[in-house]
Structure 1
């Protein structure tokens, strides 16, 4: 699996930092979890799930600076959102997902944090304190437009269930990034190591729809929450 992770990274033009690999046992457990999951077909194929149903749990969460927030009101709001799911002790898929988000952040430039909000949500809240997330975010040069989120076990579980991304064992979670529009509640789940260019294309599609409605990037930046 180490060579598989490396090939995935090289194919995307990314680096994994300190990433290591799945053991055969970890890979077998991961595949078994996928088989029991209702989204397993998309996951196993590294596929795309458009029209994903999403609900935002009204629970308190914390960002990497320890600030309390509500995911929908304070981060999603009226923005276009790219959301990844990771945990800091993960040495398999999470470094790749974070590297993909890092490259997307660079491609977005000044759009990150205004028109587009990047979010990395920890799925291991017992260990991932705000301080730990802040240190981890630094490895990927996360800017102001990329927020890292944790919270109590109950709050994170409720959040993941509402987003349709909860798994019984967080260590077996699939590589997953969601792209959506907080205004229209149009969401797509991308399973597997998705090329940042594909995610960028989806962001631009959502932005173009807004432009047709008279709400282009300039208007969106002015409307976005602080």
Structure 2
């Protein structure tokens, strides 16, 4: 019962944090210190050519991109860093709630979070971060070299130099070889689920 109460409290607090962040950060251009009163997100299709890059999972094992995400499953991907106090906790909590909404269907999805601060985000830190948000087996966290992280950020056109200038973005793809859907801004867990359903229904 205590665990249930704690879980409900955590979700309530996360919901409050999401509402506050959505009110503070615009969907298009901002940094950690900007203020804006227009929450939401913009959706567009995009084609990305991913470079070959080796990253490290939270368990310390190596992962080769893009083959790591080319196993045929739908992919939902974002970029975060563990010491972020504004954008990343909101994105990660949205992912956490999204996986809950998926239920058993989560096993058919590959969720990916790539660190944009690999010098600080060791596998151990990523593992702790993943535990903090209750990441399931389908949700993997990656770190690695700065070069590899930047290469992937640039491939997704989400590299802004300093980590403090990064923007809230989520990327979805139904299957290898298909176009990505780029969501710029804060999509709620329900909106993520809606976008996911729309994506897989079109396959």
TM-score computed with the length of structure 2 as normaliser? 0.79
Name structure 2 gaps, 5 residues minimum: 1-10, 33-37
Distance 2:165 2:181 in 1: 21
Report the CA distance between 1:96 and its aligned residue.
0.6
Distance 2:198 2:43 in 1: 16
Name structure 1 gaps, 5 residues minimum: 1-8, 34-43, 211-226
Match of 2:160 in 1: 167
Whose strand fraction is larger, Structure 1's or Structure 2's?
Answer: 2
Report the CA distance between 1:184 and its aligned residue.
3.9
Match of 2:30 in 1: 31
Distance 1:142 1:124 in 2: 19
The alignment status of 1:62 with 2:61, answered yes or no, reads no
Match of 1:126 in 2: 119
Distance 2:130 2:31 in 1: 30
Report the CA distance between 1:76 and its aligned residue.
3.9
**May I ask how many residue pairs the two structures share in their alignment?**
183
Matches within 5 A, 1:192-203: 192-203=185-196
Residues 181 and 71 (structure 1 numbering): CA distance in 2 closer, same or farther, change over 3 Å? Answer: farther
Matches within 5 A, 1:108-187: 108-112=102-106, 114-187=107-180
Distance 2:84 2:96 in 1: 17
SS at match of 1:90: coil
Distance 1:176 1:188 in 2: 10
Report the CA distance between 1:14 and its aligned residue.
2.5
SS at match of 2:180: strand
Distance 1:184 1:205 in 2: 17
Match of 1:14 in 2: 15
Matches within 5 A, 1:73-112: 73-112=67-106
Match of 1:215 in 2: none
Deviations 1:58-101 (A, max 9, x none): 01011110111123212343111111211000011111110000
